[in-house]
Chain A
Amino acid sequence: MEVSLQELNKTQYPIPAELQNNVAITSLSKIYNWGRRNSMWPMLFGLACCAIEMIATASSRFDFSRFGMEVMRATPRQSDLMIVSGTVTKKMVVPIVRLYNQMPEPKYVLAMGACASGGGPFKEGYNVVSGIDKYLPVDVYVPGCPPTPQALLFGLIALQRKIDGQSLTTADDVPWYGVGPSEPTPVPILGPDIIDPRQMDMIRRMAESKAAKDAISLPDGRALPAVKTAAAVVPVAKKATAAAAPVAAAAPVAAPADDKRAAALARKAARAAKTGGAPAETVAVEDAAPAAAAAPVVTAAAPAAVAPAVPADGAKPWEEADEIREQRKAAALARKAARASKRDEGK
């Protein structure tokens, strides 16, 4: 079809003179991202001390409306960004997860401060969650206690940069682009202690082995080796020769009709298995909680998806973690040796 520039300028609305006779070419992703990054509406809710610095950031001296964020919405339905500004307690994480589930996609989470990133000064407390990334996928971590308003601004700019890098076509990591809407995060239960529904199976197994008087802990009740949900899922995917198998098995349970989603998840799992860990987008802090951000995407499919993570043959997950740790250690030692020999060669 041939269109003359003259034709193009004859629209229903006036085009400023300096823009007439111009053709701008951009990708759909770019213009879409440009629109979104400059209208990030944060949710108006504060948790603790960090919220005060968030308010300071919103007020005249620092003024984050310069970045298109002035409209703080008090309802999750109208907000794009959840700034988790403060200590997440077990009692509070329940409403936070509910709020997150109510936010429309695309949605982002910014963990502001030491507490929201990993527990912070109050981490050892019995009512404190060790970072919001135990429950929600975090996009940006901002360190500090509290982060200065400048740091928060930097984190917000980092988020904008992250949005710039997202693509409408290829990003399996961005559920709302590649795979369609994500599953809601299961809301934790306040029982005798907080219960993450995704860990139900592990808790059941723990209770069983405790009842069977299996020694799962050292006599002083501490020093249990690590098993993280993310760590457990990824290595198992590696073990199962067909990386997609556990996920594919879980997918029908989660969303029977959603083939596209299952395929994307499988691709993602395969990628994760290749790299040996799910890459988390950690912009401001290096290691605040690697891998955790991607974990919920895998495990959130359904509580059942956790089940393949724990082999059914009675092997204990914690022993497996030991194995993995040994492997990692050996690999690290090998790398170190290689480096050393290289250095020697250099001499």
Chain B
Amino acid sequence: MVMTTPEELNVDLKATSVEETVSHLTQRFPGIVSADTREGYGGVIVAKDKLVDIARYVRDVLGFDYLSSATPVDYLGEGNHSTDHLEMVYHAYRTSGGKALVFKAQTDRESAEIPSLIHVWKGADFQEREAWDLYGIRFPGHPSLRRILMWDGFAGHPMRKDWKEAYYEEDHKPFTSRWPGGHVHRAEEKSIFGHNVRYPADIDLSRLTDVSESTLYSGFGMGVDVTRMVDHHGVETNELMVNMGPHHPSTHGVFRMMLRIDGETVLDLDPVMGYLHRNHEKIGERNTYLHNIPFTDRLDYISSMGNNHGYVLAVEQLLALGAKYNPPTYRAEVLRVLMVELTRIVNHLWAIGFWLNDLGAFFTPVLYFIQERERILDFFEAVAGSRMMCNYMRFGGVFADVPERIHSVTNLINDRMRDFDTMQFLTEMINERIPRTIDELDAYLTQSEIVRVRSEGVGIISREDAIGYSTAGPLLRGSGVAYDVRRADPYSIYPELDFDVAVETSGDMYARYMVRLREMRESVRILKQLLPRLEYTKGQPVNDNNMAYSGKVPVGESYGRVENGKGELGFYIVSAGEKKSTANPWRYHVRAPSFINLTPLGLMSRGSKVADVVSILGSIDIVLGETDR
């Protein structure tokens, strides 16, 4: 354990800037901590055997109490570095705001072992399991290092650079087979099985067993031997094991939970995921930077605009390292914020609606919210060309300006489709329709006896746990932490906009509901400020047409994050630059709020009733596209 020296207690280390912190760390721990001097990189590299101590120091003494993201990178033949190695990259923030302290630990690819940080930040739990699953890094100290996205028994760790999928063509897109004159064929034709499968050469069918389920159950410490218990009336009962999902209608997608229950009380809960693991990151590392924008749409498919924003911010950070890049114009920024705030309203309406579904108000409130959402989607469709998968933002701007007039089929007058002046449509929507819907929702639900009884005091997570478990978004703010990336680490034009961060302190489901409700009101407030800005920036260009199909991205790493509806959405991108390919990311990682917010689900559900588990999950608000990626 590293102890603080008396001198350190005199300086307020918790208030120093990140640069000062980095130089402090390197001086304080020579030989253990060294600055990361690779071109385009920042932060420090920590000797892996001292990682846990340094992490404690970073958290307790330096005040970086919030671990935002922990993700591996496979530097195999990448050329930037002398030897091939695996690297864990940690981004830690202060909940009081400010930039990230990035620290890294390296290990060789064969032994692949890095001490677990789960006892420093519990939020590292799922992220380390993911690193084990996809990269094969072992984390000594992790209590249950099991696969999380793939199934047990799967051959290999697929995100490693030398692991090739069955439909592998080349390392990078655009594939030569797709060029003009290239021979395009269906991928199935290349496999003798006609499927997307590849079996190891030594596959032994006679001894083949499907262990994907059995280890799941045994890993949870349940199964055949049922524990006998005596309840307080002296009645002997058994613990029961219940499986929920992955096609349960109220798990919000293909999510699965294993519950250990005693009567109606939940003793333990283990989330099981990966049923929608569609290899976003592997595909993303083959794609060009531009290719990835439509893929980000499909992460959190309720709020595609927000995902676009996070991704373009991350790439723009990298682009800004080199010359020849024009940052977005003011109008482009206004348009981005406009779309993102509309998306946030859509997201919260959806989240509250489906949470009410879980509470038993089956589908009635949702229908009203979806109707409002349809109106916003009509606007998106007119602007971006697609209702849900907008693919709207570009590096250095947005895809197109809003059109002069739009059609909206939602506002039917005598069954005829109407055509509106866009600004008029927006003004009406922002000033009247959306506030009206929010008021209605507020009037009927906030004081509703049923909503309050069902949600107050249920699914509590304390302030300390909310930070420790790396939760984000309404889950974090419902527990009294006023942490909103738009304010804590501002981006775009948020600094000049007037809005408050919604916070509640009780940490229960009701608090999360209230945070969402108030955030929608704040979004309306922001949108109202955008309307005049839209008027007076009319005619400004909205994108930088220089950004070619496969723009050159300089070497380096970047972490772009935005406050999305579900929480902090981050993109960690490493560009190997000239040495590999300037058009394809070397590492493309998504810090998905839905995924990390599930880490404390067990904690929040323990001791509650079975019927509450579903609504606790609903109050976290997950979307599986992002959870499993």
**Is B197 an interface position by the 8 A CB rule?**
yes
A223 adjacent to B247 (CB under 8 Å) = no
A58-80 interface code vs B (CB 8 A; 1 in, 0 out): 01110000000000001000000
Nearest CB in chain B to that of A188: its residue: B210
**Is B276 an interface position by the 8 A CB rule?**
yes
B169 adjacent to A222 (CB under 8 Å) = yes
B388 adjacent to A53 (CB under 8 Å) = yes
A195-209 interface code vs B (CB 8 A; 1 in, 0 out): 110011011101100
Residues of A within 8 A of B187 (CB): 119, 123-124, 130
**Is B337 an interface position by the 8 A CB rule?**
no
Contact with A224, one of B192, B278, B371 (Cβ below 8 angstroms): B192
A48 to B246 CA separation, bound complex (whole angstroms): 12
A271 to B189 CA separation, bound complex (whole angstroms): 25
Q: A49-B389, A123-B187, A228-B194 are in contact. Are A192 and B410 (CB under 8 A)?
A: no
B564-585 interface code vs A (CB 8 A; 1 in, 0 out): 0000000000000000000000
Nearest CB in chain A to that of B286: its residue: A124
Q: A192-B154, A203-B199, A224-B192 are in contact. Are A47 and B374 (CB under 8 A)?
A: no
Cβ distance A200 to chain B, nearest Cβ, rounded Å: 6
Residues of B within 8 A of A60 (CB): 367, 370-371
Interface-located stretch among A8-16, A88-96, A155-163: A88-96
Q: How large is the interface on B (under 10, 10 to 19, 20 to 34, 35 or more residues)?
A: 35 or more
A229 adjacent to B194 (CB under 8 Å) = yes
Q: A47-B276, A49-B298 are in contact. Are A190 and B151 (CB under 8 A)?
A: yes
Q: A61-B374, A125-B279, A191-B208 are in contact. Are A206 and B249 (CB under 8 A)?
A: no
A133 to B197 CA separation, bound complex (whole angstroms): 15
A146 to B247 CA separation, bound complex (whole angstroms): 20
A202 adjacent to B192 (CB under 8 Å) = yes
**Is B330 an interface position by the 8 A CB rule?**
no
**Is B57 an interface position by the 8 A CB rule?**
no
B192 adjacent to A195 (CB under 8 Å) = no
Cβ distance A144 to chain B, nearest Cβ, rounded Å: 10
Residues of B within 8 A of A261 (CB): none
Contact with B274, one of A55, A91, A193 (Cβ below 8 angstroms): A91
A87 to B410 CA separation, bound complex (whole angstroms): 29
B283 adjacent to A56 (CB under 8 Å) = no
Residues of A within 8 A of B254 (CB): 46-48, 92
Known: A191-B153, A206-B199. 17 other contacts (CB 8 A): A45-B249, A49-B388, A56-B374, A89-B275, A92-B246, A95-B246, A95-B275, A122-B298, A123-B196, A124-B187, A127-B149, A127-B274, A129-B195, A145-B389, A207-B202, A222-B169, A227-B194
Residues of B within 8 A of A124 (CB): 165, 167-169, 187, 196, 279, 283, 286
Q: Which residues in window 23-53 of A have CB below 8 A to B?
A: 44-49, 51-53
Counting chain B CB atoms within 10 Å of each CB, the highest count among A46, A56, A91, A128 belongs to A91
A91 adjacent to B168 (CB under 8 Å) = no
**Is B413 an interface position by the 8 A CB rule?**
no
Closest 3 CB pairs of A and B: A125-B279, A192-B155, A49-B301
Cβ distance A230 to chain B, nearest Cβ, rounded Å: 8
B192 adjacent to A59 (CB under 8 Å) = no
Residues of B within 8 A of A61 (CB): 370-371, 374, 410
Cβ distance A342 to chain B, nearest Cβ, rounded Å: 29
B277 adjacent to A226 (CB under 8 Å) = no
Residues of A within 8 A of B249 (CB): 44-45, 74
Nearest CB in chain B to that of A211: its residue: B201
**Is B203 an interface position by the 8 A CB rule?**
yes
Q: How large is the interface on A (under 10, 10 to 19, 20 to 34, 35 or more residues)?
A: 35 or more
B410 adjacent to A128 (CB under 8 Å) = no
Q: Which residues in window 152-196 of B have CB below 8 A to A?
A: 153-155, 158, 164-169, 187-196
**Is B478 an interface position by the 8 A CB rule?**
no
Cβ distance A72 to chain B, nearest Cβ, rounded Å: 8
B199 adjacent to A126 (CB under 8 Å) = no
B359-370 interface code vs A (CB 8 A; 1 in, 0 out): 000000011001
Contact with B197, one of A146, A193, A216 (Cβ below 8 angstroms): A193
Contact with A134, one of B195, B212, B275, B294 (Cβ below 8 angstroms): B195
A127 to B410 CA separation, bound complex (whole angstroms): 38
B196 adjacent to A129 (CB under 8 Å) = yes
Nearest CB in chain A to that of B369: its residue: A59
B387 adjacent to A92 (CB under 8 Å) = no
Residues of A within 8 A of B302 (CB): 52
B188 adjacent to A192 (CB under 8 Å) = no
**Is B494 an interface position by the 8 A CB rule?**
no
B361-392 interface code vs A (CB 8 A; 1 in, 0 out): 00000110011001000000000000111000
A1 to B204 CA separation, bound complex (whole angstroms): 70
Contact with A210, one of B154, B201, B279 (Cβ below 8 angstroms): B201
Residues of B within 8 A of A255 (CB): none
Nearest CB in chain B to that of A75: its residue: B249
B198 adjacent to A128 (CB under 8 Å) = no
Residues of A within 8 A of B224 (CB): none
Cβ distance A7 to chain B, nearest Cβ, rounded Å: 47
A134 to B193 CA separation, bound complex (whole angstroms): 10
**Is B499 an interface position by the 8 A CB rule?**
no
Q: Which residues in window 212-255 of A have CB below 8 A to B?
A: 216, 221-229, 231
Residues of A within 8 A of B275 (CB): 89, 91-92, 95
A317 adjacent to B247 (CB under 8 Å) = no
Nearest CB in chain A to that of B281: its residue: A125
**Is A318 an interface position by the 8 A CB rule?**
yes
Contact with B196, one of A95, A119, A191 (Cβ below 8 angstroms): A119
Residues of B within 8 A of A231 (CB): 194
Counting chain B CB atoms within 10 Å of each CB, the highest count among A90, A96, A200, A216 belongs to A90
Residues of A within 8 A of B150 (CB): 91, 127
A117-143 interface code vs B (CB 8 A; 1 in, 0 out): 001011111111110001000000000
A46 adjacent to B192 (CB under 8 Å) = no
A340 to B200 CA separation, bound complex (whole angstroms): 49
Q: List 11 A-B contacts (CB under 8 A).
A: A48-B625, A60-B367, A91-B277, A124-B283, A146-B388, A194-B195, A207-B199, A207-B204, A207-B205, A222-B168, A222-B190
A48 to B197 CA separation, bound complex (whole angstroms): 22
Residues of B within 8 A of A221 (CB): 164
Residues of B within 8 A of A211 (CB): 201-202
B277 adjacent to A89 (CB under 8 Å) = yes
A121 adjacent to B295 (CB under 8 Å) = yes
**Is B282 an interface position by the 8 A CB rule?**
yes
Counting chain A CB atoms within 10 Å of each CB, the highest count among B194, B210, B248 belongs to B194
A127 adjacent to B278 (CB under 8 Å) = yes
A129 to B295 CA separation, bound complex (whole angstroms): 18
**Is A331 an interface position by the 8 A CB rule?**
no
Cβ distance B296 to chain A, nearest Cβ, rounded Å: 11
**Is B541 an interface position by the 8 A CB rule?**
no
A220 to B593 CA separation, bound complex (whole angstroms): 39
**Is A338 an interface position by the 8 A CB rule?**
no
A307 to B497 CA separation, bound complex (whole angstroms): 69
Residues of B within 8 A of A96 (CB): 247
A206 to B200 CA separation, bound complex (whole angstroms): 10
Cβ distance A85 to chain B, nearest Cβ, rounded Å: 10
**Is B313 an interface position by the 8 A CB rule?**
no
A227 to B275 CA separation, bound complex (whole angstroms): 28
Contact with A202, one of B193, B210, B295 (Cβ below 8 angstroms): B193
B205 adjacent to A204 (CB under 8 Å) = yes
**Is B253 an interface position by the 8 A CB rule?**
yes
Nearest CB in chain A to that of B381: its residue: A148
A73-115 interface code vs B (CB 8 A; 1 in, 0 out): 0100000000000110111100110010000000000000000
Contact with B388, one of A52, A59, A202 (Cβ below 8 angstroms): A52
B188 adjacent to A128 (CB under 8 Å) = no
**Is B51 an interface position by the 8 A CB rule?**
no
**Is A334 an interface position by the 8 A CB rule?**
no
A207 adjacent to B169 (CB under 8 Å) = no
A318 to B189 CA separation, bound complex (whole angstroms): 11
B613-629 interface code vs A (CB 8 A; 1 in, 0 out): 00000000000110000
A113 to B176 CA separation, bound complex (whole angstroms): 27
Residues of A within 8 A of B410 (CB): 61
